[in-house]
Amino acid sequence: MAFELGIYHFGELTPDPTTRVPPKPGVRLRELIEQARAADDAGLDVFAVGEHHRTDFAVSAPAVVLAAMAENTRGIKLSSAVTVLSSDDPVRVFQQFATLDLISGGRAEIIAGRGSYTESFPLFGYDLSDYSDLFAQKLDLLLRLREENPVTWRGTMRPSLDQGDITPRPERELPVWVAVGGTPASVIRAGRLGLPLSLAIIGGSYAQFAPFVDLYRQVGEKSGHDPARLKVSINSPGFIAASHHEAVEVSHPYFQAGWMANHHQRGRGVPMPRQAYEAQSSPAGAFFLGSPQEVIDKIMKQYELFRHDRMMIQMGFGDVPQKEMLKSIELLGGEVAPVVRKEISSLERSAERSATEEMA
């Protein structure tokens, strides 16, 4: 797999910082479909949408939104970010994404997570005290569904299956990533299972997450998995414009509004003053915020540290206006992606030559 770049979006319905009016859900969903088409046209590799179950987000059914995107795109991969597997049914998740994979011609992915927003648990009748066990058992079932059919499975967090016939079947192995926010237990789980790791870095210094990536690869290799299959995606907020000043000017008011309104715990948002926002765009900060060259430089610095396989930017958090979003997507695909791919490909070829020379 060549290095991939993509975008993810939660479909926030944040009130505009000037008018104080939130976008209508239908408008936001159509804008997301247009963004996916723009990302595809720009040559990006992945477009992903999150899952939330409250009125300040538009996307509660990612597979439905992704299916609409599939009919408006040609080659881009379409993923959840994330599927809150703990409060969903693995059979329905598998069926929905298998259907999406068939509709899209093999472009569907699942990024499965436990969920940092917890509204879905009581909504669907789950107890938050079972938070960890729910995810572990449901991930086990999802992987079993991927591997065999009919399926016999026993568990305590969901009714068991006895020769369950699960349809439709995708024409390939459906990719399943594990989303991690920085807990060692989640990293270890992904490594033991040999599943690709989707690591969210949404603040602070990105370098502090290097031990998690190292731990993941160490556990994966000790568990007998092919190192080449131990993929890592780094996922962080950002926004790109022609200059650093423009990127901050355009995106900060919306990001600040989103940081306050769309927080994990309703009514407990935290301020994001401009100075703090700028700090996150520094070379050591988590955000991919600035000109194309600044974003290229940060991706390459992270690659030196993580040797990751994919970079996903949560672009325009807080509902940056669509016109500016489309410009940013075009810059990411047209100016950032080609340079990053070329530089990483060159580094990989050099590493291969060095390895060959050492063996000789």
Give the Cα separation of 12 and 262 in Å (integer).
7
Top-confidence residue, 175 or 357: 175
Distance between CA 341 and CA 350 in Å, rounded?
14
Q: What secondary structure letter does DSSP report for 71? A: T
Going along 241-294, which residue ranges are E strands? 288-290
Distance in angstroms (rounded) separating the CA atoms of residues 252 and 290:
11
Q: What is the pLDDT of residues 295-306, one digit of tens each?
A: 999 999 999 999
Average pLDDT, the chain: 95
Contact present, 303 and 233 (Cβ < 8 Å): no
**DSSP characters over 315-346:** ETTTT--HHHHHHHHHHIIIIIHHHHHHHHHH
pTM of the model: 0.96
Question: Tens digit of pLDDT for each residue in 279-325?
Answer: 999 999 999 999 999 999 999 999 999 999 999 999 999 999 999 99
Residue type for 357, please? E
Q: Name the 3-class secondary structure at 277.
A: helix
> For position 353, what pLDDT does the model report?
83
pLDDT higher than 90, residue 358: no
* pLDDT of 359 strictly over 80: no
Handedness of CA 120, 173, 303, 4 (dihedral sign): negative
Write the pLDDT tens digit of every residue in 211-267.
Answer: 999 999 999 999 999 999 999 999 999 999 999 999 999 999 999 999 998 877 777
Tell whether omega for the bond before 82 is within 30 degrees of 0, i.e. cis: yes
Domains of the chain: 4-359 (3.20.20.30)
CB 109 within 8 A of CB 77: yes
